[in-house]
Amino acid sequence: MRHWFRSYWTEEDTWFYFEVDADGWVTRQIELQGPLEKPVAAASLTEWQSAQAAGTLADYEKVFGATAEVPVQEWDGHDPHALSLEQFQTVWLAARTACQAGARNRATDGA
């Protein structure tokens, strides 16, 4: 069974949103940074693994970032707040859109 939560990490001034499987592994992760909560990551473990297998991991991470590489049981503190799937999904869709737009803007600026 999956569950969803968010946690604020003061040292990074970042809200982390997580979708976690029954074993505690992060399957989707969102990072919103700074006082404006700018989306800087919206990564899916399944997509990340596919990109790694295809040899396109660097491109994937430039757009969407990565998920945590250890189960959530191994983390210290950070006072998690439970979310519903609907709450997580709303933030997920907005963050994915922002990450994709940022990548398009970077590609246009670099051209």
pLDDT at position 104 over 80: no
Binned at pLDDT 50, 70 and 90, residue 109 comes out as low
Classify burial at 16, counting beta carbons within 10 Å of its beta carbon; exposed 0-12, middle 13-18, buried 19 or more. buried
Q: How far is CA 62 from CA 25, 48, 107, 108, in A?
A: 22, 11, 11, 15
Q: Give tens-digit pLDDT for 12-66.
A: 999 999 999 999 899 999 999 999 999 999 999 999 999 999 999 999 999 999 9
What pLDDT does 76 receive? 62
* Domain extents in the chain: 3-110
Q: What is the pLDDT of residue 53?
A: 97
pLDDT of residue 72: 79
pTM of the model: 0.88
pLDDT digits (tens, 9 = 90+) for 67-83: 988 887 766 656 889 99
pLDDT number for residue 77: 59
- Please report the sign of the dihedral spanned by the C-alpha atoms of residue 61, residue 48, residue 100, residue 92: negative
* Helix (H) and strand (E) counts in the chain: 3, 5
Of 24, 23, 54, 27, residue with least CA distance to 43: 27
Residue 13's SS3 state is coil
86 vs 106: CA distance, rounded Å: 30
